[in-house]
Amino acid sequence: MARYPGHLLRAWTMGLLFMLSACATVPVTGRKSLHILPDSQLVSMSLDQYNTVLKKSKLSNDPEKVQMVKRVGERIAKATEDFFREQGMDSEISNYKWEFNLIEDDKTVNAWCMPGGKVAVYTGILPVTEDDTGLAVVMGHEIAHAIAKHGNERMSQGLLAQLGAVGLSTALSTHPGPTNQIFMAAYGAGANVGFLLPYSRLQESEADHIGLILMAKAGYDPRQAIPFWQRMNKKGGKRPPEYLSTHPAPETRINVIQAEIPEAMRYYEGR
Has 142 been annotated as catalytic?
yes
**Sequence-separated (6 or more) residues with CB below 8 Å from residue 224:** 133, 134, 137
Q: For residues 74 and 98, is the Cβ–Cβ distance under 8 A?
A: yes
Q: Which helix or strand (DSSP H or E) is residue 118 part of?
A: strand 118-122
For the CA atoms of 165, 170, 174, 175, the dihedral, rounded to the nearest 10 degrees, stands at 60
Q: Which one of the listed residues 64, 99, 104, 142 is annotated catalytic?
A: 142
Q: For residues 120 and 53, is the Cβ–Cβ distance under 8 A?
A: yes
Q: Which helix or strand (DSSP H or E) is residue 122 part of?
A: strand 118-122
3-state secondary structure of 121: strand
The 3-class secondary structure across 164-186, one letter per residue, is CCCCHHHHHHHCHHHHHHHHHHH
- How distant, in Å, are the alpha carbons of 172, 238, 244 from that of 250? 38, 12, 9
Amino acid at 271: R
Of the candidates 125, 140, 122, the residue with the CA atom closest to the CA atom of residue 192: 122
3-state secondary structure of 26: coil
**Sequence-separated (6 or more) residues with CB below 8 Å from residue 158:** 182, 185, 186, 197
Residues with a catalytic annotation lie at 142
